Amino acid sequence: MENIVETVRFKLKEGANEAKFLADSEATVSFVTQSAGFLYRSLSVDESSQTWTDITYWDSMENAKAAYDDFMNHESARNMISHIEEESVVMSHETLKMNVMSDCAQSA
């Protein structure tokens, strides 16, 4: 089985409160990390374009898709999504072909 990289790019709604969005994003962590096949997740923003990137690594496409379906029905996810400009969302699933991480890599 090959690992899957799920990438979601989006912009926040005009006037959205970034701190509230981040708090609502944090509230999804326990759900995501307890989902079958979860490996890694990060959330970043391109400050110049205000485009956000939510990257999650999964152990299989089956688990990635199942987690997405479950995520969309979870209250904390709905709260997070409420800040996002729907038309800006671009989501992809890609097969991981190489992965290198430093021994000192830690969450921010």
Instruction: Please spell the DSSP secondary structure of 56-81, one letter per residue.
Output: EEES-HHHHHHHHHHHTTSHHHHHHH
Contact 33, 25 (CB under 8 A): no
pTM of the model: 0.89
Give the SS3 label for residue 33: helix
Whole-number pLDDT of residue 104: 65
Give the H or E element holding residue 30: helix 29-33
pLDDT digits (tens, 9 = 90+) for 28-83: 999 999 999 999 999 999 999 999 999 999 999 999 999 999 998 989 999 999 99
Q: Which domains does the chain have, with CATH numbers?
A: 4-95 (3.30.70.100)
